[in-house]
């Protein structure tokens, strides 16, 4: 890294993977969550309160996300954690499979309490795998009530070639269509990627390849989102494969403040490069130095490409030997992006790690 040029970590989101326990056991779940995982494999509630307090001292921090596993398993504690974050001036989001929305009345009770505590956004996960455990009608209940309560509401549906999920049942539902037209409810389809422990074979259209020019993007989450795992590791992104990539782990926050771990994190050019241009372009750089290098063109998700990048020994070797040829260009792009964001927000970057 060039001396005298400060690099900045400006996280805007704290994502709490509250637990690995879930009411569903979806095949290819990114974290392998199931009902068989004990609630003891969770971030302690008091530690989550402390993490929220610590995050609130970071000027760039804006949002706390409660996810999992299934964060709604925390019941009343989830309500109080949302309230705690709200009182600290942070926006809040919950990510859930909607199992609790058995009826409109049940959905209104759960979401009403959370809305009163300050919840701003609800993200619902569904699709063929999810629907085996949580009927799609519960997603309709939850989405309709959330939109009525004024929550920012997003439904994420799995995408893969063999999926038989009827997305039209949501987008054309008579009670949801109006909320979609008004913008109170968004429905999007996200690629469902395979992992090491998934059993069902799934495939994707060739157009989903991350190596198609129109699909190559930088990664908005690395360095912008800080994630705490149930084991209380701090991770520099919220990606689907982040628990499988040791290089993304910054250290334990079980007995150290979040801010201390961040401030002691050394600059990492690879994270910066992934943030600016995405893992696909990094691997294309590898191929320029090793022409017969085989790109993972079957990758359909940036997290899938990122995992390949970190695991592949050829890629790691080439980057160690040649990254300096790209350092000035990528660093300048990164700093320009920070400066532009600072102007838009009328704020200065929160953490400089240049001296650590």
pLDDT, tens digit (0-9, with 9 covering 90-100), for 199-215: 899 999 999 999 999 99
Count of beta carbons in the 10 Å neighbourhood of residue 195 = 17
Q: Which two tokens stand for residue 243?
A: 């628990």
Interhelix angle 136-148/104-117, nearest 10 degrees: 40
pTM more than 0.85: yes
Q: Could you name the CATH architecture of 11-204?
A: Alpha-Beta Barrel (3.20)
Q: Assess whether pLDDT exceeds 80 at residue 352.
A: no
Question: Strand runs (DSSP E) across 127-266, as ranges?
Answer: 152-159, 185-191, 225-228, 233-235, 249-252
- Provide DSSP, 102-152: SSHHHHHHHHHHHHHHT--EEEEEESHHHHTTS-HHHHHHHHHHHHHTT-E
CA within 13 Å, CB half, 217: 11
For residues 107 and 138, what is the distance between their CA atoms, to the nearest angstrom? 9
Q: Which residue has the tokens 């400060």?
A: 6
* pLDDT at residue 337, as a whole number: 83
What is the residue-averaged pLDDT of the chain?
92
Count of beta carbons in the 10 Å neighbourhood of residue 330 = 21
Q: pLDDT tens digits for 325-338?
A: 999 999 999 988 87
* pLDDT at residue 349, as a whole number: 40
Give the lowest-confidence range in 77-86, 104-113, 335-344: 335-344
Provide, rounded to the nearest whole percent, the portion of the chain with pLDDT above 90.
Answer: 87
Domain residue spans in the chain?
A: 11-204, 269-352
The residue length of the chain stands at 356
């Amino acid at each position: 890294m060039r001396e005298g040029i400060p690099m900045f970590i400006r996280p805007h989101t704290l994502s709490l993977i509250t637990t690995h326990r879930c009411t569903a056991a979806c095949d290819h779940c990114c974290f392998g969550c199931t009902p068989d995982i004990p609630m003891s494999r969770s971030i302690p509630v008091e530690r989550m309160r402390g993490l929220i307090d610590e995050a609130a001292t970071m000027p760039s921090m804006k949002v706390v996300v409660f996810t999992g596993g299934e964060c709604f398993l925390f019941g009343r504690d989830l309500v109080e954690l949302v309230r705690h974050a709200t009182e600290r001036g942070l926006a809040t989001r919950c990510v859930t499979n909607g199992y609790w929305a058995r009826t409109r009345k049940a959905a209104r009770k759960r979401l009403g309490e959370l809305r009163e505590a300050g919840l701003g956004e609800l993200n619902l996960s569904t699709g063929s795998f999810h629907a085996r455990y949580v009927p799609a009608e519960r997603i309709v209940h939850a989405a309709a009530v959330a939109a009525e309560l004024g929550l920012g509401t997003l439904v994420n549906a799995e995408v893969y070639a063999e999926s038989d999920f009827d997305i039209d049942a949501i987008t054309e539902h008579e009670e949801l269509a109006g909320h979609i037209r008004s913008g109170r409810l968004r429905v999007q389809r996200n690629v469902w990627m395979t992992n090491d422990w998934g059993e069902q074979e799934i495939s994707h259209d060739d157009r989903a390849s991350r190596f198609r020019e129109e699909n190559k993007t930088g990664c908005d989450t690395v360095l912008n989102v800080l994630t705490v795992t149930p084991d209380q590791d701090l991770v520099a992104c919220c990606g689907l494969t982040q628990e499988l990539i040791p290089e993304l782990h910054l250290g334990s926050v079980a007995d150290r403040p979040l801010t201390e771990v961040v401030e002691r994190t050394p600059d990492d050019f690879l994270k910066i490069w992934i943030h600016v241009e995405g893992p696909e372009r990094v691997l294309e750089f590898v191929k320029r130095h090793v022409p017969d290098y085989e790109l993972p063109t079957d990758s359909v998700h940036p997290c899938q490409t990122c995992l390949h990048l970190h695991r592949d020994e050829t890629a790691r070797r080439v980057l160690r030997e040649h990254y300096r040829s790209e350092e000035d260009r990528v660093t300048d792009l990164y700093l320009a992006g920070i400066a532009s964001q600072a102007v838009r927000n009328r704020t200065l970057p929160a953490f400089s790690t240049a001296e650590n």
